[in-house]
Amino acid sequence: MRENSFRLAIMPGDGIGVEVMEAATAVLEAIEKRHDIGFKMERVNGGARQYQETGVAMTEEGFEAAERADAILFGAMGSPDIRHPDGTEPAPQLDMRFRMKLYAGLRPIRAIPGVPLALASPRASEIDFALVRESTEGLFASRGKGIVTDDKVATDTMRITRDVTERVSHFSFKLAERRARRRKRKGTVTLIDKSNVFRSFAFMRKIFFEVASQHPDVTAAQHSIDATALDLIRRPWDFDVMVTENMFGDILSDLGAGLVGGMGFAPSADIGDDHALFQPCHGTAPDIAGQGIANPVAMILSTAMMLDWLGARHSSEACLEAADEIETAVDAAFGAGSVRPYDIGGSDGTGAIARAIIERLAPRARV
């Protein structure tokens, strides 16, 4: 395989996952033509619809194809009306997080020029923080293991381990170091917890500050989850990198998305030591699926995150440049006010948004 050639597992899934994935692969094809990068895309099927038809949401071959790939690009999977007999939804994306140990759920929250912001303060345009959601334990460790006793009491247990807390803390500090280099200022990592009440969080906090001592160039801070909910509305521009438990991260990442235009603008990555999966924060949005009106920006920015991760992991300047180029093209398309998707009151469909972004990729090639 030539240098700068990557195998991608492409998992569109259900609902708008399929539609936004088409937009992302169109961007990747444009990037391929402009940079010295080759993508071998292998489509991997799975999701709620497949579960309904076959009884299996993701086959073992599907998981293995994803594990063989250099990176996984994922649309969305699920459907509220397709459920297991116990009432839960089939969720291969959660299975993959646990199976491939994708402990760092990275959700960058950045104000995109031209996209309406929820907060009236002029400082809202400075919002630029990264939330790291631990994604393999916490309260979600209880998934499938909750107990209901005599139809009277239900219990789910939160699990915090030293090993994963160390890994996700190191990940967060390294991320802050990288962001600090790019932004030319000192980085800060804030642990979000409830350590004044729960032993599990007090344990997490202790380990976080142990790891912090190995990253002296970054400021380490701690903030309670309740105060964070308040401050994400009052002064979200003050945060840099935040790291938190799985369930808290699940909630805060939607709050963050709401600050910067909504789910259609919120990308994410699930990163482990050996694998990484990139997907928009949004789900399958059954209410708008099949109409061609889904906003593909979250998916396209997730694709840029994938290129950034591949670039850093494989020392590929071409991938790093391509990642920056996509982000800049998104900013240019929205900054110019030339496109407006339906979710922010416009009338540009998925294809029109993708085309506007592709047209604004920098007019030069590296080949």
Out of 37, 102, 285, 339, the only residue in the binding site for ligand ATP (CB under 6 A) is 285
Helix, strand, coil shares, percent, the chain, to 5: 45, 20, 35
Q: Which is nearer to ligand ATP, 249 or 311 (CB)?
A: 249
Given the rule CB under 6 A, which of 62-70, 111-119, 229-237, 279-287 is the region that contacts ligand ATP? Answer: 279-287
Out of 169, 188, 284, 302, the only residue in the binding site for ligand ATP (CB under 6 A) is 284
Question: CA-CA distance, 211 to 165, in Å (whole number)?
Answer: 9
CB of residue 279 vs ligand ATP: minimum separation in angstroms?
Answer: 10
If DSSP codes are grouped into helix, strand and coil, which group holds residue 349? coil
Tokens matching residue 349? 């469909």
CB of residue 12 vs ligand ATP: minimum separation in angstroms?
Answer: 13
Do 16 and 22 contact (CB within 8 A), yes or no?
no
User: Per CB under 6 A, does 263 bind ligand ATP?
Assistant: yes
Q: Which is nearer to ligand ATP, 188 or 284 (CB)?
A: 284
Question: CA-CA distance, 103 to 165, in Å (whole number)?
Answer: 9
In DSSP notation, 46-115 reads -SHHHHHHHS-SS-HHHHHHHHHSSEEEEEE---TT---TTSPPP-HHHHHHHHTT--EEEEEEEPPTTS
Question: CA-CA distance, 343 to 261, in Å (whole number)?
Answer: 8
Question: CA-CA distance, 169 to 221, in Å (whole number)?
Answer: 12
Out of 14, 240, 331, 343, the only residue in the binding site for ligand ATP (CB under 6 A) is 343
Q: Which is nearer to ligand ATP, 285 or 322 (CB)?
A: 285
User: Per CB under 6 A, does 308 bind ligand ATP?
Assistant: no
User: Per CB under 6 A, does 275 bind ligand ATP?
Assistant: no
Q: Which is nearer to ligand ATP, 81 or 287 (CB)?
A: 287
DSSP 245: -
User: Per CB under 6 A, does 287 bind ligand ATP?
Assistant: yes
Residue with tokens 């009338």: 347
Question: CA-CA distance, 130 to 109, in Å (whole number)?
Answer: 6
CB of residue 112 vs ligand ATP: minimum separation in angstroms?
Answer: 14
User: Per CB under 6 A, does 245 bind ligand ATP?
Assistant: no
Q: Which is nearer to ligand ATP, 220 or 285 (CB)?
A: 285
Binding residues for ligand ATP restricted to 1-60, rule: CB under 6 A = 16
User: Per CB under 6 A, does 294 bind ligand ATP?
Assistant: yes
Give 39's strand partners.
6
Out of 247, 255, 288, 312, the only residue in the binding site for ligand ATP (CB under 6 A) is 288
CB of residue 287 vs ligand ATP: minimum separation in angstroms?
Answer: 5
Q: Backbone phi, then psi, for 236, in 5-degree steps?
A: -65, -20
User: Per CB under 6 A, does 282 bind ligand ATP?
Assistant: yes
Residues lying near ligand ATP in the complex (CB under 6 A): 16, 78, 263-264, 282-285, 287-288, 294-295, 298, 343
